[in-house]
């Protein structure tokens, strides 16, 4: 499918991939800085998000192979062949990893932010229980039910999604209710105007299709078996020290190091999940 996208600037290519629940505007500040630094910057709104929705979709339309092909086709269509760097945040990093693993396009460098290579099986998440219910990824295996809960109050959803986690949480509640519908908001990493813009962007568009990305994680493992290999592309994995959703552990560090021949892993102190918004310089330094 053709993704809605922007392409601006002149110079070596940078492709920015947003995650959940973001959109094409997520990278605006990073994009402006890169353009000033002589980069040609391409930003797509990914499959299933309001500007790139699929009519009469199936849950399986949002599997990792389809998501990767979207990006490969965009790179070829736009001739993004000038020392291309791909940067992915959250789910965008999972898509970016699939792209470099498949090896169908030339990539100089990959920067993965608050993400990784692929999700474990749903069996892992099914064993995790919290005060307010199952792990949100377990809930997301029923995209119709979970999206209906979220769609009821988009303002609450986006305020909860963009909370500023400024202190270590020993045992975070990673249930759908706590993270996305009934938790405490507090300080945000974005301003009220940005929240309003997210609400307008998604108003009339269910979160169903973005949630379907999560509903394919078992299928994604099967599909990735076709191209999973030790990558040679230089990769930097960047994490926030206080990210409660994606916690960098010693075990995870060891596994990531074995994914390729040129792997760098960094953790940004005092940062949470939204590094491109809260720690722009840390992100920009890895791209340049």
pLDDT at position 262 is 98
Those residues with Cβ within 8 angstroms of residue 154's Cβ, 6 or more apart along the chain or in another chain: 198, 199, 202, 203
Give the chain's residues under pLDDT 50. Answer: none
Distance CA 13, CA 24 (A): 17
Secondary-structure class of domain 5-287 per CATH: alpha beta
Beta bridge partners of 20: none
pLDDT at position 166 is 55
Q: Which residues of 172-197 are buried (b: 16+ CB within 10 A; e: fewer)?
A: ebbbbbbbbbebeeeebbbeeebbee
Q: Do the strands 39-44 and 5-8 form a parallel or antiparallel pair, or are they unpaired?
A: antiparallel
pLDDT at position 19 is 98
Cα 240 to Cα 112, 218, 237: the distances in Å are 12, 26, 10
Residue with tokens 């005060």: 131
pLDDT digits (tens, 9 = 90+) for 143-175: 999 999 999 999 999 999 999 875 556 788 999
pLDDT digits (tens, 9 = 90+) for 230-273: 999 999 999 999 998 898 999 999 999 999 999 999 999 999 99
Tokens of 222: 């099967």
- Residue 42's Cβ-side half-sphere holds a number of Cα atoms within 13 Å equal to 24
pLDDT at position 169 is 65
Distance CA 17, CA 22 (A): 10
Closest-CA residue to 246 (of 147, 92, 62, 113): 113
């Amino acid at each position: 499918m053709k993704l809605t996208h922007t392409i601006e600037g002149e110079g070596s290519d940078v492709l920015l991939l947003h995650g959940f629940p973001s959109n094409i505007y997520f990278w605006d500040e990073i994009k402006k800085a890169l353009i000033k630094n002589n980069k040609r910057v391409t930003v797509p709104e990914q499959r299933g998000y309001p500007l790139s929705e699929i009519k009469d979709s199936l849950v399986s339309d949002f599997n990792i192979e389809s998501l990767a092909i979207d990006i490969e086709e965009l790179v070829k269509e736009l001739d993004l062949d000038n020392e291309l760097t791909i940067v992915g945040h959250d789910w965008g990093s999972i898509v970016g990893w699939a792209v470099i693993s498949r090896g169908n396009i030339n990539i100089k460098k990959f920067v993965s932010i608050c993400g990784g290579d692929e999700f474990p099986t749903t069996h892992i998440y099914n064993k995790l229980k919290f005060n307010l219910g199952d792990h949100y990824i377990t809930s997301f295996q029923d995209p119709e039910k979970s999206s209906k809960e979220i769609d009821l109050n988009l303002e609450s959803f986006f305020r909860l999604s963009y909370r500023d986690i400024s202190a270590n949480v020993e045992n975070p509640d990673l249930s759908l209710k706590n993270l996305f519908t009934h938790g405490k908001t507090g300080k945000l990493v974005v301003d009220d105007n940005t929240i309003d813009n997210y609400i307008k962007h998604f108003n009339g568009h269910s979160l169903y299709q973005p949630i379907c990305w999560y509903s394919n994680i078992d299928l994604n493992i099967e599909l990735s078996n076709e191209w999973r290999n030790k990558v040679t592309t230089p990769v930097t994995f960047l994490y926030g020290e206080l990210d409660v959703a994606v916690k960098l552990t010693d075990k995870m560090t060891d596994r990531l190091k074995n994914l390729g021949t040129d792997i760098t892993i960094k953790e940004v102190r005092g940062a949470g999940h939204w590094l491109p918004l809260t720690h722009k310089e840390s992100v920009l330094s890895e791209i340049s």
